[in-house]
Structure 1
């Protein structure tokens, strides 16, 4: 019997984008579960709205991302990753406003889920982590350096993993590569895009393997982009330029 699931990742505090994607997932696709591949918060200001929407859902799998863990490190008074020094002021702003009832929920998230769907092995993770770094704190930068999207690069990066489907995020562009043994899929950042669409993927697992549909839900992002100035979000000029393609200036 086939099973269908949705993949979302890198929402980055963008509630209008999440709302648009979830609306399509819930109304157009009959999914058995939804998986969020990390970085629910950070960059965008809608921290509590995003977490409320996600954690209220049933039939879900979530893994943690580097932004989620960096914000948690600040809240808990733990060491902050030196590699994220440029984001610290912004993460402090996010941490100050995060509803602390979400802290234990974020802390409970694994970095990796290895399971089976219709008898086929699947791995959900934010990005590759070497086995000897799997339980290191975020201050030690456990996630591997990003590689350029290609089948050969991803096969090499995940060569220790034999799962039939490897789903991940972290790198914001869409990745979709497959060979005769494995499928590598990153649906692309849902919340950070240079146009007003929220990216996600629908995966159908059946006897013949995995069928992947890459989707984009259109939405009005004008109020969201304007909220950066309204809320006086730290580093907003950099964020709007790098993560949202300077759409406000168009």
Structure 2
């Protein structure tokens, strides 16, 4: 069985379409989205509509929660987020879509061929906790984790790592990478008697998205983050 995990789309519709088209070519059984459909990008409602048109399992991310509830505590409480980034997204996303985001689950647990895969956005403890590959709190989380595979997102930095006989996967980001590129990443998990996983990276050009942000007169810090991949 093949499972693809996407996340951190952040209003980047073209990147999302490109990722899903590539996934569909690989004949996966299930697509799971680990949250953060909205925030930053210009096509936040369109991303939700596209996700709804596909058979995708879905949880909410911290930015989804921040926008749906107009609550900066789910994201970094900085002047930029509080005074611009969050208000702009709150005003951009429709009330219908905010209510839809509020109904999404916080996590998904899949039991396949005797293996347990848990999908969260930040960590099993908090939706906005960053679990970096070599951090001490990541190791502590994995020591306590009861399943076989923990899939997370949020950092926008992809990796696959073993902690003893347990695997941790971060699928990276479809729409807003933080590895100094514009490239799309997602995770592809193969589950048979054993589990294997790989990070798929697709070349992408965000020029059209950046021009749309400029046309909308979005804050320069948002534009720069897409330009620089940070």
TM-score, normalising length: structure 1: 0.82
CA apart distance, 1:118: 2.0
Q: Is 1:36 aligned to 2:22, yes or no?
A: no
Specify whether residues 103 and 143 from structure 1 end up closer, same or farther in structure 2 by C-alpha distance, changes over 3 A only: closer
Answer whether contact 2:9 2:175 (CA < 8 A) is retained.
yes
Specify whether residues 229 and 6 from structure 1 end up closer, same or farther in structure 2 by C-alpha distance, changes over 3 A only: same
CA apart distance, 1:34: 0.5
Q: 2:32, 2:53 → 1: CA distance?
A: 13
CA apart distance, 1:26: 1.1
Instruction: Give the unaligned 5+ runs of structure 2.
Output: none
- Structural RMSD (CA): 2.1
1:139 aligns with none
1:227 aligns with 212
Q: How many residues get paired?
A: 225
Residue by residue over 1:171-209, the C-alpha shift from the partner in whole angstroms, topping out at 9 and shown as x without a partner, is: 11112101442110011111112323211111111102x
Specify whether residues 162 and 243 from structure 1 end up closer, same or farther in structure 2 by C-alpha distance, changes over 3 A only: farther
1:134 aligns with none
Q: Is 1:54 aligned to 2:51, yes or no?
A: yes
Residue by residue over 1:54-77, the C-alpha shift from the partner in whole angstroms, topping out at 9 and shown as x without a partner, is: 12212x211111100000112xxx
* Runs of 4+ off more than 4 Å: none
CA apart distance, 1:9: 1.0
CA apart distance, 1:127: 1.2
Q: Secondary structure at the match of 1:57?
A: coil
Instruction: Give the unaligned 5+ runs of structure 1.
Output: 131-141
Q: 1:170, 1:116 → 2: CA distance?
A: 23
TM-score, normalising length: structure 2: 0.89
Q: 2:142, 2:169 → 1: CA distance?
A: 12
